[in-house]
Chains A and B, each alone.
Chain A
Amino acid sequence: MISALEAQGVDTIFGYPGGAVLEIYDALKTSNIRHVLVRNEQGGAHAASGYARATGKVGVCLATSGPGATNLVTGIATANMDSVPLVAITGQVPRSMIGTDAFQEIDITGITSPITKHNYLVQNVEDLPRIIAEAFYIARTGRPGPVLIDIPRDISQAVTEYVPVKEVDIRSYKPTVSGHMGMIKRAVKTIKASRKMVICVGGGVVASNSTAAVMKLAQMKNATVVSTMMGLSGYPASEARFLGMLGTYGNEGANLAVQDCDCLLALGMRFDDRVISTPGSFAPNAEIIHVDVDPAEIGKNVDINIPIVGDLRAVLDDLNTQLEKQDDLIVCESLYPQIPLPMSDGINVPWTMQLVESLVDKDKTIVTTDVGQHQVWTANSYNFTTPRKFISSGGLGTMGYGIPAAVGAQVACPDNLVIAVTGDGSFQMCMHELGTILEQELPIKIMVFNNNVLGMVRQLQYHYSGQRYSGVHFSKTVDFMMLAKAYGAAGYQITSREEAPEILKEAFENGRFSIIEIAIDPDDLCLPIVLGGHALDDMFLAPEV
């Protein structure tokens, strides 16, 4: 099994041992694969996801049966929603004991069937090399996603000759690569005639490494570009044509552009409700061209005028080739305007993240986030310019993702500066991984924005519950500096704008694990916001004074 993993190019596994995986751990000891011992299997799954998103390779996590496997579930579901290539390996009780409610037995293939792209319960040891090869193939091809392999103890105890798998051929799994030519021609016709075109970059642009092709099309047409949260880093935010994120928590300019445009080219995205806000009111004037590798995403949430199923890069190359041949291509006269993010006085997240941006080498800096206000602010203020340098839980919105994902990213890219941006709420959801950071000597920088509240839920209660705040206030403050000390990290506190540059600079350059606590105002809101039932251009811009 380890040979089969090595044949897939696996160099790192994030795992946690246990009774049902003893033999696997025994074999791991003498292999060339680096094992990163996490502190909770959820952290292992998130770290493998961070590793995968930083590199584009398949991330691997390993857990024992029962609670080990169930702890993976949140991480697998997070990867599934964000189309992250992941292989999760779990131990299982011996085949003879399956179904008897044995110690640490759980039906993990049953539990994970709705949250994996595919899963296997291995029945014969001879099948193992084929299953591992198939699992990696399925995880990384088509629309990437997590695949789980459940291995009963007697299978991992069995001895067999390793027969390498030459080629994977699954008759029931053939992802579409090239787009339908007829549809591409229709798309070319629409794009050609558009006068106010917007391109929306989704996570698929990052996953398929299509940035250059998107830039080419955008320049040719002088189109405005917006992005989903998953698409961030897929298009250089430094360009004037890039207006940032659209959607519920999107940039004002981006939302106005989408609602006004006459042609929307949607690339590798799935029209999530946080992106479109209210179906039926989304991009009312636009012919929507949707390119996605997953046919089930076409027309699922929004009616599409021109659907193209295929690998994004292949389709974009075709579109670009065709568009270049057109003599009568209309170039958009002007770009939609950028609208700056509103910002409160004093120290806040957007201001701090813009400062961070100016202090680091962005080509070699990975920013992970947790989930909440700090995530939205980071997405809206830090200008991501290099693909795979932004790692955040988009679809599932998993608090606790940021720190373990940073572990995976730092292990994958040791020469990068890895910054985990988090809040005091999210921080405490997976803070057990501080132990992993300590042990692996990872120089991760955790920036924890502390407002003593669960800010995003509080903001939702501000809008939807008439400012009746319930269950969102932390009445006792964590001493993050003591915590830093306990985990061998350098601790820093920032309380004003004046001291921020120097402290951040020092923390980023000290070469070691650091926790930087930044106190922010709990009343600060993520603005603008599109409230439920409203169209994207009907934004809540600021509270009435």
Chain B
Amino acid sequence: MKHKVAVLVENNPGVLAKVSNLFSRRGYNIESLVVSDTEDKSISRMTIVVDGDEKTIEQVTKQLHKLVDVIKVNDLTNDDTVCRQLLLVRVAADRETRGEIIQLMDIFRARIIDIGRRSLIIEATGDESKIEAILKSLQPFGIQEIVKTGISAMVRSPKEK
């Protein structure tokens, strides 16, 4: 099962190498990894999607904790989270198909950000299933290039008073 793990780390040089090293050395599989700075400049946040059973994830969490640069590890899988991924896709488009693609992308609230003579670049954000749906809908037109970020996730704020 896929797990989303949020890791707060000291913003030190080499910390990304230490984290990725840990995954490869212990045979854990990283599906995606996003790193960015946070509201506190001395702290970076990694959102890592890792595939494995409960036991593996428990070991991943514990081993991450053992790294001195790691401040906090949270498994977000069972939390109520907002997840987003950014997609850039270049799709074949001529005068005949362009209109249809634009219409389709409107449904997904995706945006056309570049138009060439024979292709379009589309930008979309969403959770994994939406990104997948967009790609599926574009398939018939001819996808030429895909760039995706990993998943960024944030726990929803409490709603009750």
Which A residues are within 8 Å of any B CB, using their own CB? 109-110, 113-114, 117-118, 121, 123, 138, 170-173, 294-296, 298-300
Contact = CB atoms under 8 A, between A and B. Distances in A.
The 5 closest A-B pairs by CB, nearest first: A296-B62, A118-B68, A172-B71, A114-B25, A173-B68
Contact of A110 (B17, B59, B70): B17
Nearest to A117: B68
B123 interface: no
Interface in B52-74: 55, 58-59, 62-63, 65-71
B27 interface: no
A172 B69 contact: yes
Contacts of A170: 68
Contacts of B21: 113-114
A123 B17 contact: no
A113 B13 contact: no
Contacts of A121: 13-14
Given A294-B66, A295-B62, A172 B10 contact: yes
Report whether over half of chain B's contact residues are helix, strand or loop; otherwise say mixed. helix
A109 B14 contact: yes
A299 B14 contact: no
A296 B66 CA distance: 8
Interface of B: 9-10, 13-14, 17-18, 21-22, 25, 55, 58-59, 62-63, 65-71
A296 B17 contact: no
B58 to A, nearest CB: 7
B66 to A, nearest CB: 6
A123 B66 contact: no
A113 B65 CA distance: 15
Q: Which of A110, A113, A123 has the most chain B CB atoms inside 10 A of its CB?
A: A113
Contacts, number: 40
Contacts of A296: 59, 62-63, 65-66
Contacts of A295: 62, 65
A124 to B, nearest CB: 12
Contacts of B17: 110, 113
Nearest to A309: B62
Contacts of A114: 21-22, 25
Contacts of B58: 299
Contacts of B59: 296, 300
B30 to A, nearest CB: 16
Contacts of A110: 14, 17
Nearest to A295: B62
A270 to B, nearest CB: 13
A433 B147 CA distance: 56
B53 to A, nearest CB: 13
Given A121-B13, A295-B62, A299-B58, A172 B70 contact: yes
17 contacts: A110-B17, A113-B14, A113-B17, A114-B21, A114-B25, A118-B67, A118-B68, A121-B13, A121-B14, A138-B68, A170-B68, A172-B68, A172-B69, A294-B66, A298-B62, A299-B55, A299-B58
Nearest to A297: B62
Contacts of B66: 117, 294, 296
Nearest to B70: A172
B71 A171 contact: yes
A304 to B, nearest CB: 12
Nearest to B62: A296
Contacts of A294: 66
